[in-house]
Amino acid sequence: MQRMRTFPSLPLLIATAAVGCAVQEPVYVSDVTGECRVSARYFPADVETVEWTGECRNGFAYGNGKLYWTRDGRTGWRNICLRPEWPESGCLTGGGPR
């Protein structure tokens, strides 16, 4: 005789998944000017300072620029385009020119 496998009910499965996937609020750090906030996801943890060379819109880093940070007395940087989900930011995301 074959044993039949049982699976948890769909509502229980959805409730379990919802508890394990809590959405975290984004963390922003003010740059050295104090006028522009940058999402912490763009640089390593435990930085001492952050500097953004691009545009600020409504107090947030926006568009193309360089992001500098210092950590343990060393400086890191990257060219980056922030807010690519906003078409007017000028960031190109995938697919090349349209």
For 3-26, the pLDDT digits (tens) are: 655 545 545 545 555 555 667 777
Q: Residues for the chain: how many in total?
A: 98
User: Residue 84 has what pLDDT?
Assistant: 58
pLDDT bucket at 95, cuts 50 / 70 / 90: very low
pLDDT bucket at 98, cuts 50 / 70 / 90: very low
For 77-92, the pLDDT digits (tens) are: 988 888 756 666 667 6
> How confident is the model over 30-39, as a mean pLDDT?
91
Alpha carbons 27 and 25: distance in angstroms, whole number: 6
pTM of the predicted protein model: 0.62
